[in-house]
Structure formats: structure tokens, C-alpha cells
Chain A
Amino acid sequence: MYVCAMDLENTQSQMRKGILEYCILQIISQGSCYSSDILDRLKQAKLLVVEGTLYPLLTRLKNGGLLSYRWEESKSGPPRKYFEITETGAVFLASLRSTWSELQFAVNHVSSITTNQELNHTENNPSQPNPTQSL
């Protein structure tokens, strides 16, 4: 049971990570913003559990040449890092978008088949007592 739980967690985080990167690029592509803005949006969407996870992803995207940033002074707190999407990033995002819609389609498709099968399976289940028969 323990090993199962670990695998589930791992799979979940892997899935979320891929989607997160896509979402981050999506948010930044709408205009330059700094981490706090991105965090707000992601939290509204309930995609983030803890804030700290954002930063490795941002660094990774930046190192990959998809994002660039500049420092800006803040009156109230520490200086802020403003991110912008690069041209490569934009191309990358475009292909991600198409991948996402493909995936969406694929997942929906597979899910609908599974649901139908499950339904069928339940109907034909012999262990399930048939109300008409029992009467």
C-alpha cells in the first residue's frame, strides 16, 4: 500500500509539473510579470501547493532560453525579477498549446471509452445482484 501511495504521489507531481510549465509560459506570454503575479494566478487556479516549487521551474525555463528577466526596484520590499517570454519561448509555447489540445483530446477520448466500459462492466457484473432476479 505504501509503495502504491508513493507512486501515485510521484505520478501526480510529474503530471502537474508538465502542466505547470505550460501554464507559467501561458501567464508570462500575456505580458511581463514578476513571481508574485504568477503565484497569484497559479494559486487561483489551484495548481500550486507550495510557492517554492515555482522557482526551480522559472529558473529551468530561463536557462532553457524560453524566458528572460530584468530587475526592478520595489518601494516596499526587495527588488523584483520581471519575466518576459522570449521568441523561442513563444514558439515553444505555440507548439505546447497544440500538444495540450492533442493531449486534452486524447485524455478525453480515452476517459470516455473507459467510462463506457466501466458502465458496461457494471451492468454485466454477475456478483451484482439483479433486483429483478431476486424478486
Chain B
Amino acid sequence: MNRIISANINGFVFQIDELAYDRLKQYLESLRLRITEKEVYDDIENRIAELFSHLLISGTPAIFINHVEDVIAQVGSAEELGDAMDSVDHEGSTEGEGAASASNSASTSSHAGGGGEHAKRLYRNEDDVVVYGVCSGIAAYFGWDPVFVRAVSGILAVASFGTVILVYIFLMIIIPAASTPAEKLQMRGEPVNFDNLAKVVDHNVRSAYESAYAKAMESVKPRAKRGLGKTGRLVVKVLAAFALVALFSIIVPGVIGAVLSVGMIAFVFDAFYDYFLLGYTYLFGTILAICAVVLVPLIQMIYGLIRILVNGKKMSPFLRWPLNVVFWIALIFLTFKSVEVGRGFSSSASVNFAKTCEQVDSAKTILVRTETVPLKWEGELDGPGREELDASIKDIDIEVTLNGRSGYHGEHAFYDLMVNRASNDVSLTIANTLETKPFVTVFKRSRGSRLTAVSNAAGLRYDVRWDSTTLILPDVLILGKNAPWRNPSVEVVLNLPAGYQANIDRSCRDLISYVNDQYLGLDDMENGYARVKSTESGVEMILP
């Protein structure tokens, strides 16, 4: 099955079979090589159009290969017409006949004529394309192997952090493509004479039959473009240029900013590591995947915009497919990773234990205070010494932000606390009980997957103890080493039988603020404690 193409000669539009189109194109190209005078060529083209019009009037639905062959036989092949042409070219000069017959006897000598145009020129080689033919064009110019040029520029592209890619885009725009046979010869620095041209055309014809489909597609494309109109195309181009400039003005500063803030990025990803305990292999995989998912569509977008601007070709499949594969692999990886992380937080669990105050005295008064948990230190200490750090934790005026990654406000920011990671999500409530002795209940809570939530909660370390009538609470809860961070928290409930009183030390101010909707005012105190009593009806604050 063959496609029927719309073709046009000097404004005369007709339908032509794909094969016939290729044959006709090859014939016209060979004529163009032999007939140097444009007017003569146009006349002959016109004659061909006229012969076609006769055929169409006589009822032929379209021009087929046999029609083209008939027309060629009638009008004459390039060689036959070449005879006539040569004598016109060398009109009036006696040596002209000699020269004409010399080049007519064809292939006998390749230096017959046209040797003057020996100049080499730099073109893009569109017959051998990976991205845009710049590398193979340079290779053709210097007579090197294109694979070598590509390999070197690939290495340079990485080594120069992408600068070479910008250079490539620039060259792609300024270097013209070698489209005519003469330009293809000039690209390689071969003399532009009849024999060499014939070789190129012969090569073209062979590949033309192979790519008949692609040609048909090309002939369809301009029609779609025509629909836009000249101004439409211009507007699209201007928009594309704007988009490109906008993209570059965002991306380039973005990349520079990213490079400058490498320290910041390192911190972010370190926190990432700490939070999800991904492991460094996973971490780098995740970073790469995020880059791929962001960069691939970006590259394709830039490429598409440039294509609109310079009417370029589609991206070479050798580039397009790996990019797509990388994108999808990265996306699938990230999806699985997200699901995994999401499942790690899907369930919550609570584990509790109780401790009773055994040594009750007649005063029936309990003192509640906190003690500072010494946070073990790992890694290099760059800044204050160990003692200083402990002191800074003890110093109640320094705000403690212990969220997974323990850090301290002020100068001593962000030290690794990998041994004892801690959370200050600890709260205290006072409740009324029917038991005779006061007791404390500790609820350790954590999230996790359906299977791990309970063990995550049980793994939290928070040890309350009674020192005669004093209840001592740690100020932070400790995660075990390598235990994942799954929003851990601890709730301490002090149960007081009726008649008991609790003095809540100021050190508990981060754990409790209200009792029975009454503000204890621990934050406002310089020293001392707030007092709470338990009655039959509940717990209430003893107002000072």
C-alpha cells in the first residue's frame, strides 16, 4: 500500500503516489545538478506540471510511478539534457564544445569542471544525527570519527557542569544544516563537481526509498503549519522564546543557588536520613530519583521550545528513550518509597505501665519535679565542650527544640545525637483516683506500620521514679539507637486519691500548664511551685 501525497510545482497542485513522488524528486534533483540556468530548469518543471495536468484531465486519479517514468522518457533524462545544456552554457566559445564533451563522457575524469568550489565549510550533518548533528558536522569538517567527537563532548559536558551543553545549543542554532548535495560535499571539503554530486544524489535516492514513510510525514507537516498562518507561527515562536528565557532565568539562578547552598542541602538530606532512617544508599537513590523526576520533563520542555524556535527535528530516539526510561524508573522508585514511608506512619500504638508511691506520709503531699536527662554525645565536637553543652541543656532559659534531630537554639545548633535521640513531646496530667495510694501511669505512644507500631512504642525509654514522696520525671523521652522517628510521645498521668495534694515544681512547666482548665502559672514563676489538690469531685488548683 502506498500513500498519496499532495505536491505542488510552481503553484500547480496535484495528487501523487508516494513512490512516484520519490522518483520525481530524484529526477528533478538530478536535473537541477545538470541545468545551471534556473530559468531553463523552471521551464522544464513547468512542462512536467503541464504533462501531469493533461493526465489528470484525461481522468487519472493521481500521478503514479509509470506516469513519472513516461514523463521522464518524454522530457529527457539529466544526461540527455546535459548535452543541450552544456552547449548553451559555453555558447559562442569554441573550447566550450571540448569541455562539454569531456564532462559528457562522464565518469572518465572527475576533475572535469566545478573544481573552483573546493572550500570547506562547517555544516551540521543531518545524515548522521544523535542530537542535532553538530558533533558529526564538526567531525566531517576535520575528517575525524564522529563517535570520537561525541564521546569527547559528552565527557566535557559532564566535566564542565553542563556549560558544553549551552555551547552545543548555541552551535546548533548558528551552524546551518547541510541540506543540498553541494553543501554535503563542502562539509567534507570534497570538490563540488558532477561526479561527486552524482554520488551524493545516488546515496540520497537510495535512502529516499528507505525513508518513504518519513518523507510522506514531512509532506503532511507543512499543511498543518499552513493552518496557523505566518503571524500565528511568529506568535508561537515569540512565546516559545519568552518561555525559554523565563525557564533559563529560573533554572540557571536556581542551579547556582543550589550549588552555593550545598551546606544547606547537605543538612536537609541529613535530616531526611535521620527522620526516615533510609540508609545512605537509599538516600542517594532518593536524591537522584527526585532530580530525574524534576529534570527530565524540564529537559524535554526546553528541547521542545527550542524545536519550535528553530524548526528542529524530533529528539533522537537514542536520547529520548533513555530519558523516558530514567524518568519512569525514578517515578516508580519514588512511589514505592512514599508508600513505604506512608505505611511506616499508618498505625498508632500506646504502651503503658504504672508505678505506685509506697511511702506515703501523713502530710499527704506529693512533690513533682523533672530531672534533666544527660544526652549522650557522638561525633566530633566542633564548638563548645561536653560540659558546656550539658549546661546549656540544663539552663532552662535556653529553648530546647528536640524534634528528632536534636538541636539547640542559639550558637550550638545541630549536633549529632545519634546515640540518644530525644523528644520533648512529654505531657503531664493530674487525675483523681479511688485507690488509696497515689500512683503514676505512663503512656508511651508511637506510630508505625501495623506490625511495628507497638514495638516502636514499647522501645521508647521514659523512666519515672518515686523518691519517697517525690515523683521525678525525665524532661525528655529517649528513642533507642536506630529506632525510627515515628512521632513518639509520652503522657504521664499522676493519680491522686481524694485528700492528697501535689506540689508541681516550676521545672515541670514544659509538661503541664493547666489543671481542670485552671492556669497553673508555672511560666510566670521565678521559683517555687504550683499546688493542686484532689477532692471527691475531682482535681483543682489551690489558689495562692
Question: What is the interface of chain A, defined by CB distance below 8 A to chain B?
Answer: 6, 10, 13-14, 17, 35-36, 49-53, 55-60, 74, 76-81
Main secondary structure of the interface of B (DSSP, over half): helix
**Bound form: Cα–Cα A76–B44 in Å:** 18
Q: Is the CB of A53 within 8 A of B91?
A: no
Q: Is the CB of A35 within 8 A of B47?
A: yes
Which chain B residues lie closer than 8 Å to A78 at the CB level?
9-12, 46, 49-50, 53
Whether A52 touches B49, Cβ cut-off 8 Å, given contacts A59-B37, A59-B40, A77-B54, is no
**Bound form: Cα–Cα A60–B53 in Å:** 27
From B46, B54, B88, B105, A59 is in contact (CB under 8 Å) with B88
How many A-B pairs have beta carbons closer than 8 Å: the answer is: 87
In the assembled complex, 10 residue pairs joining A and B whose CB atoms fall closer than 8 Å, in A order, are: A35-B47, A49-B80, A50-B77, A52-B47, A53-B81, A56-B88, A57-B84, A59-B37, A78-B46, A78-B53
> Which B residue's beta carbon lies closest to that of A48?
B76
Which chain A residues lie closer than 8 Å to B50 at the CB level?
36, 74, 77-78, 80
Q: Is the CB of A77 within 8 A of B81?
A: no
Which chain B residues lie closer than 8 Å to A6 at the CB level?
101, 105
B39 within 8 A of A: yes
- Please give 18 more A-B residue pairs, beta carbons under 8 A apart, in addition to A53-B80, A56-B40: A6-B101, A10-B97, A50-B74, A51-B74, A51-B76, A52-B84, A53-B81, A55-B47, A56-B84, A59-B40, A59-B88, A60-B88, A77-B12, A77-B53, A78-B12, A78-B50, A78-B53, A79-B46
**Bound form: Cα–Cα A35–B42 in Å:** 13
Whether A50 touches B87, Cβ cut-off 8 Å, given contacts A55-B40, A78-B11, is no
Which chain A residues lie closer than 8 Å to B40 at the CB level?
55-56, 59
**Bound form: Cα–Cα A74–B10 in Å:** 13
**Bound form: Cα–Cα A57–B35 in Å:** 13
Q: Is the CB of B87 within 8 A of A51?
A: no
From A17, A35, A36, A77, B84 is in contact (CB under 8 Å) with A17
**Bound form: Cα–Cα A52–B12 in Å:** 19
| Interface size classification for chain B | 35 or more
Whether A76 touches B57, Cβ cut-off 8 Å, given contacts A50-B81, A52-B81, is yes
> Which A residue's beta carbon lies closest to that of B83?
A13
Which chain A residues lie closer than 8 Å to B49 at the CB level?
77-78
Whether A52 touches B75, Cβ cut-off 8 Å, given contacts A14-B97, A57-B88, is yes
From B12, B43, B80, A35 is in contact (CB under 8 Å) with B43
Whether A55 touches B43, Cβ cut-off 8 Å, given contacts A50-B80, A78-B10, A78-B50, is yes
Which chain A residues lie closer than 8 Å to B87 at the CB level?
14, 17, 56
Which chain B residues lie closer than 8 Å to A17 at the CB level?
84, 87
Which chain B residues lie closer than 8 Å to A51 at the CB level?
47, 74-76
**Bound form: Cα–Cα A45–B77 in Å:** 22
Q: Please list the 4 inter-chain residue pairs (A to B) with the smallest Cβ-Cβ separation, ordered nearest first.
A: A50-B76, A77-B53, A52-B76, A78-B12
Which chain A residues lie closer than 8 Å to B97 at the CB level?
10, 14
B85 within 8 A of A: yes
Distance in angstroms from B235 CB to nearest chain A CB is 34
**Bound form: Cα–Cα A77–B39 in Å:** 19
Q: Is the CB of A52 within 8 A of B88?
A: no
Quick one: which of B420-471 are within 8 Å of A by CB? none
Q: Is the CB of B47 within 8 A of A50?
A: no
Whether A56 touches B74, Cβ cut-off 8 Å, given contacts A77-B53, A78-B12, A81-B46, is no
**Bound form: Cα–Cα A59–B52 in Å:** 23
Which chain B residues lie closer than 8 Å to A52 at the CB level?
31, 44, 47, 75-76, 80-81, 84
Q: Is the CB of A60 within 8 A of B81?
A: no
**Bound form: Cα–Cα A17–B9 in Å:** 29
